[in-house]
Amino acid sequence: MNLKEFAKAIGMSQTTVSRALSGYPEVKQETRQKILKLAQELGYHPNRSAAGLATGRAGAVGIVLREGRGFDPNTTEFMAGLANRLETRQIDILISVVEDRQQELAAYQRLAGSKRVDAIILHTPTVDDERMDVLKKLKIPFIVHGRGADGGDYPWLDIDNYGAIYRATSYLLDIGHRHIGMINGSRGDVFAEHREQGYRNALKERGIVFRSDLLTSGAFIDDVGYRSMQDFLSLSEPPTAVLAGSMMTALGVMRAVRSAGLQLGADVSLIAHDDVFNYINADNMVPTVSTTRSSMRDAGVRIGDILLQMLAGRDMSGHREIWPVELVLRESTRPPRK
Amino acid sequence: MNLKEFAKAIGMSQTTVSRALSGYPEVKQETRQKILKLAQELGYHPNRSAAGLATGRAGAVGIVLREGRGFDPNTTEFMAGLANRLETRQIDILISVVEDRQQELAAYQRLAGSKRVDAIILHTPTVDDERMDVLKKLKIPFIVHGRGADGGDYPWLDIDNYGAIYRATSYLLDIGHRHIGMINGSRGDVFAEHREQGYRNALKERGIVFRSDLLTSGAFIDDVGYRSMQDFLSLSEPPTAVLAGSMMTALGVMRAVRSAGLQLGADVSLIAHDDVFNYINADNMVPTVSTTRSSMRDAGVRIGDILLQMLAGRDMSGHREIWPVELVLRESTRPPRK
DNA sequence: TTGAAAGCGGTACCAC
DNA sequence: GTGGTACCGCTTTCAA
């Protein structure tokens, strides 16, 4: 059934029906209620393609994920929050998966050019990220989860990665650690650079010399945590405390510590960054793991909010948000053995 | 730029341009190449809403996820495969997130009614699943990942959950275990029922009496594994081997075993089902974990294949696929202590 | 507050 | 092999 048929069936004009269903104010309250009810009963749903063609809006936002990186638990958690928020306005999320940067740019071209989405969400910006410029040229609204190296003139929302690691490192120094290892995110990702700065500055302020053999970087997977920790433990002067970039990394670290016959907390301290997943919980580990905590899901919800405002035509170009990160101390952090 | 403008700019008719871009055979090869090149250069992309309106096809498939269940690592892995396959034909994936079954059905109504998607992917069917009937009534093509309790007359792809657990259980019995715990998926999910059948039948064939205190069920999260295992260990006759429904569950099991001062492999054997994630690896655990293995990602790719055929108009209604599951033995399985 | 009708940008039938 | 043009179903201006 289309609008014409439906309007005829209930004895109204197409115009009035369309207005009633789209919530325009000029329709009498009573008329709207009646139409809404009838649409429900007869099962009439406006055709999205037709509406999109007429309005120029797609009613969807796009997000492009890179093969092998995209669908990790982090992104996933973020999307759950995002979807949850957008669902309230019937805005759908359109997902594309690409293999490399090249293809990603092509995907933006396609999504924007064919007007398949009204806005785009960019995530995990890198130090030399060209994507923001590309999207600007394509004239499609976008928001960045994370931030560019330049903190550019587009809306973004990021957590305080610098502050989180600065505080975590400072805390470890406060309780006496002098050799602190760090297993960071991938080199070139802005958030990882920020974390490294936080780490280095905390060390510098206490006059501790930075040791390059105590810093590794890589994807947030168990294996990277394991190998990095093994490498650390084989050093002539191994770290007495370690910062892990994610809970997955932390799992690997814990594994390496156990394999070496050491005890977490007692022999080696650990603070991991926790994006808060429901299927893996720092409080449930043995020992419980200290974390710098920030909810990926909440970030998704908030970005959904901002997107909805952008779609409503509000100018959000100057919007920036930096979320503080909690430091939650648990059993995995103790002063070093004498 | 729209078709009219573009066609005029390159001195061709709209018809020819449209046909060339959509790959219709009647256009001369040479003409097509020229048009393709020009479109690229001038940055012309057909408007998807307009094309959708004219063809009645949306160029997207939909998948509805339930809050708190949807975006787990399993679904996520599946989607990566799916997206990868659909991308080759520029079919997008549209995601909706809902809170309960009620809302899920409403989402299908909306997706189908407004012709936002051309097909729908259903996953994790339950024993009394009404969704397949709803979609049939909505007359929208769909495919099920998993299968209904009735193995109904719609396309589906599933792994051999029954066989996987039957074999795993049989193996444990073969090497001498007589008390085998099972931490299953959520009650009511068809795959979990199949697994339970496999478990029970293997026991029955060896004349082992089923013990209800050795069977638990719940979400595939670390915590459920931990608690279930703790409960098992507190029994007067605890199991000497355990089947875990997922790798997340396995992590919890391992935690409980360690907490109890026991050693995996030596004191308690473990076989976990592994959907193959890249960020957590059974080979990397200590000890390495035996698994029943099936790639969620591959299933996503294959479902993408089938969907593309359905969209091409092929009748797939009788399509069924059951994938075998590998049993991979590692260090976590050993004969019970005497 | 309601209605008639002109687009929105493609597709695909029909003619050449 | 190529081109003219009547739709596809909704939104929104303009008029009543």
Residue B71 in domain: yes
pLDDT value of position A68: 62
Domain annotation covers residue A338: no
Is B335 contained in some domain? no
Same domain, residue pair A171 and A136: no
List the beta strands (DSSP E) in chain A. Answer: 60-66, 92-98, 119-123, 142-145, 156-159, 180-184, 215-217, 241-244, 269-274, 290-293, 320-323, 326-328
| Radius of gyration of chain B from its Cα atoms, rounded to whole angstroms | 25
- Assigned domain for A260 exists: yes
Grouped pLDDT means (10 residues each) for chain A, 338 residues:
90 91 85 90 92 93 78 73 88 86 92 95 95 95 95 93 98 98 96 98 97 96 94 98 95 93 96 85 88 95 96 92 97 93
The pLDDT tens digits of the residues spanning A69-90 come to 555 667 777 888 898 899 888 8
Tens-digit pLDDT profile for residues B260-290: 999 999 999 999 999 887 777 888 888 999 9
The first and second tokens of residue B309, run together, are: 């055929």
| CA separation for the pair B264, A209 (Å, rounded) | 41
Q: Are residues B90 and B139 in the same domain?
A: yes
Looking at the 3D structure of chain B, how many domains does it have? 3
Residue B96 is nearest to which of A87, A223, A279, comparing CB atoms? Answer: A87
User: What's the number of CA atoms in the CB half-sphere (13 Å) around residue B117?
Assistant: 32
Q: Are B28 and B75 members of one domain?
A: no
Q: Closest nucleotide to A56's CA, by C1' atom?
A: C8
Which residues does residue B126 pair with via DSSP β-bridges, in sequence order? B189
Same domain assignment for residues A65 and A15? no
Average pLDDT, rounded, for chain B: 92
> What pairing do the DSSP bridges indicate for beta strands A92-98 and B92-98?
antiparallel
Distance (Å, rounded) from C-alpha B81 to C-alpha B87? 10
The mean-pLDDT minimum among B120-124, B168-172, B278-282, B325-329 falls in B278-282
For the CA atoms of chain A, what is the radius of gyration?
25
Whole-number Å distance, CA A49 to C1' C14? Answer: 26
B233 has a pLDDT exceeding 70:
yes
Which chain A residue has its CA at the smallest distance from B287's CA? A259
- In this predicted structure, what is the pLDDT of residue A151? 78
Phi, psi of B175 (to 5 degrees): -90, 10
Which residues from A are below 8 Å from B276, CB to CB? none
Does the pLDDT at position B242 exceed 70? yes
Q: Are residues B48 and B79 in the same domain?
A: no
Residues 6 or more apart whose CB falls under 8 angstroms from that of B289 comprise B247, B250, B254, B270, B271, B272, B274, B282, B330, B331, B332
Task: Report DSSP letters for B168-191, one per residue.
Answer: HHHHHHHTT---EEEEES-TTBHH
pLDDT, one tens digit per residue, over B34-49 is 999 999 899 999 999 9
CATH number at residue A132: 3.40.50.2300
Q: Do B78 and B124 fall into the same domain?
A: yes
Distance B2 CA to D5 C1' (A): 17
Q: How far is A201 from A169, CA to CA, in rounded Å?
A: 9
**Is residue B183 domain-shared with residue B119, that is, in the same domain?**
no
| Run of H or E residues at B63 | strand B60-66
Provide the shortest C-alpha distance from residue B139 to chain A (in Å): 13
A233 with A121, same domain: the answer is no
| CA–CA gap between residue A21 and residue A10 (Å, rounded) | 14
Say yes or no to pLDDT of B70 above 60: no
- Looking at residue B12, which CATH number applies to its domain? 1.10.260.40
Cβ-defined contact of A68 to B219 (cutoff 8 Å): no
Q: Which of B12, B36, B54 is the last residue of a domain?
A: B54
List the nucleotides on chain D closer than 7 A to a protein CB: 1-5, 7-13
Whether B89 is covered by a domain: the verdict is yes
Q: Is residue B173 included in any domain, yes or no?
A: yes
B226 and B269 assigned to the same domain: yes
Domain that holds residue B91: 57-157+296-323
Question: B99-121 pLDDT, tens per residue?
Answer: 889 989 999 999 999 999 999 99
- CA atoms within 13 A of residue B216's CA, in its CB half-sphere: 21
